[in-house]
Amino acid sequence: MSEQVEIFEVGPRDGLQNEAKPISAMDKIALVNLLSEAGFRRIEVGSFVSPKWVPQMAESDKVLAGITRMPDVRYGALVPNQMGFAAALAARADEIAVFASASEGFSKANVNATIAESLDRFRPILEEARHIDLPVRGYVSCVTDCPYDGPVDPGAVAKVADQLFAMGCYEISLGDTIGKGRTDTVSKMLLTVREHVPVSRLAGHFHDTGGHALENVDCALSLGVRVFDAAVGGLGGCPYAPGAAGNVATEALHAHLDRLGFATGLHPDRLAQAADMAKSLRAGD
């Protein structure tokens, strides 16, 4: 029996958030429904950030209300603060995600706060989520390189990951936000982080800006990581990371893992349909 690797689909949120042309809630709902049929266990559907800063996510509540929910799929949403947390609860998100940075420069640009201040914002959210048994995922951005501060110390990544895990995040996704990570920097980072957080609770989140995402996946696989974020159609980018291209494409990651002999549980035909739709949304067709 093949060893299982899970692909966490982030296309409807991390993939679409940087698209300049407005995409209707109806189209987003259709994309999520296709992804549900493709066999994903977890899909990040939207984000409850200020529409002033990320207008593409303004209708995340309508998307969560309109999707056809599959019984074995968790539909998640990103939240930056308690206001976003309340909105995610009202929209019936099955899980939420909070996000911090391993670099001060990106933290200040992305959330207008220091790393310590951003973590302080999350503590009451994690506490309240624990009381209602709502799963919380944690993201750490800029785990190898920062567009403002340059190379990032692996110890800084481990410190943030450790704090998010200690707060109660069930999984920590480690993001190579600008796609400058290489196997040497990724391996050093992972070796350091897994001294603080069990590797079974880590996920890899690799952008393909430099065309090295799959190499970095292989590196993470060799160190025990078995969950990877990906965006269908290779959508993505970050408004606060100049030059960052899309996430690794889900369909490319699936094919790569299949060649390596890992099982993902995904249905290739449905995944291909979702990828075609995602690409058409990017092109504005």
pLDDT tens-digit map of 168-217: 999 999 999 999 999 999 999 999 999 999 999 999 999 998 899 999 99
Instruction: Please state, rounded to an integer, the average pLDDT across all residues of the chain.
Output: 93
For residue 114, what are the CA distances in angstroms to 110, 111, 222? 10, 8, 33
As a whole number, mean pLDDT of residues 234-256 equals 76
Estimate to the nearest angstrom the gap between the alpha carbon of 166 and the chain centroid: 20
- What is the C-alpha to C-alpha distance for residues 228 and 99, in angstroms, rounded to an integer? 16
* Domains in the chain: boundaries: 6-283
- pLDDT band, residue 242 (cuts 50/70/90): low
Catalytic residues: 238
The per-residue DSSP string of 78-125 comes to E-SSHHHHHHHHHTT-SEEEEEEESSHHHHHHHHSS-HHHHHHHHHHH
Q: Is 6-283 CATH 3.40.50.10310?
A: no
pLDDT at 150 over 80: yes
- The span from the first CA to the last CA of the chain, in angstroms, equals 41
pLDDT at 108 over 60: yes
- pLDDT band, residue 52 (cuts 50/70/90): confident
Residues of the chain with pLDDT > 90, as a percent, come to 84
- What is the C-alpha to C-alpha distance for residues 63 and 79, in angstroms, rounded to an integer? 15
Convert the pLDDT of each residue in 261-271 to its tens digit. 999 999 999 99
Q: Are 76 and 116 in contact (CB under 8 A)?
A: no
HSE-up (13 A, CA, CB side) for residue 8: 26
* pTM of the entire predicted model: 0.95
